[in-house]
Amino acid sequence: MTVKEALEDYYLIPRKIRHFLRTKKHVQVNGEIVHWQSILEAGDQLTLTFDPEDYEEKEILAGDANLVQALYEDEHLIIVNKPEGMKTHANQPDEIALLNHVSTYVGKTCYVVHRLDKETSGALVFAKNPFVLPVLNRLLEDKKIQRDYWALILGSLPKKKLVYKDKLGRDRHDRRKRIVDPRKGLYAETHVTSLKTFKRTSFGQLPAPDRSYPPDPCPPLSPWPSDCGRSHSTTQKELLASCSMPTACGSPIPSP
């Protein structure tokens, strides 16, 4: 692999930034400036130097660092617990969301790697710099970062493990909603494992923990939640609702 190939294909550095690295001679291998087509050998140390002006930092409104529950943090990323009822990122310039709180907690603008619906709680990954963002995005696309969802479901699941399959599309009357649309919908698949059954509800994990899924009938467009990559936790809620198994909480849109 050449230096050029490593920057393009492995680190996914944008063309503009690669141009800065090359013209400024900010690429070194084992402490020495190298040619763009130099071959990287096993054990080589690749050093990249970025100037502040290479990546323009986007300014956002300050949040409240006290609202951040950090689960893991290193120099490149932070994983936090998103509470129910809070947006992952703002949709308006004057809006405050979890991204604002996390950026204030870290001390600089962070970047959203993936999102959760406002009504869904759980772990979220934020990149601390724009360099690592495309790398984390690719790990998600390659399903090397796996996300499981837990849901409290109204009713009892008929079996320990289930696979719900259908085609989902936008509701033409309310674009916030998705409905089963056999004609125009996109294929979606949700795997459910029953963890515990209560009197009127079931506690389930999505997807099944053993990951023993059948081959996808269509290429994945995103890493999760469905094997054909529709739209995060919304897909699971809609598929369960279509089978008269609506989620018991945190899901105001789907209905059986």
Active site (annotated) includes residue 117: yes
CA-based nearest residue to 223, from 98, 108, 125, 110: 125
State the CB neighbour count (10 A cutoff) for residue 135. Answer: 16
Which one is catalytic: 117, 148, 174, 216?
A: 117
Distance (Å, rounded) from C-alpha 98 to C-alpha 223? 22
Among all residues, which ones are annotated catalytic?
Answer: 117
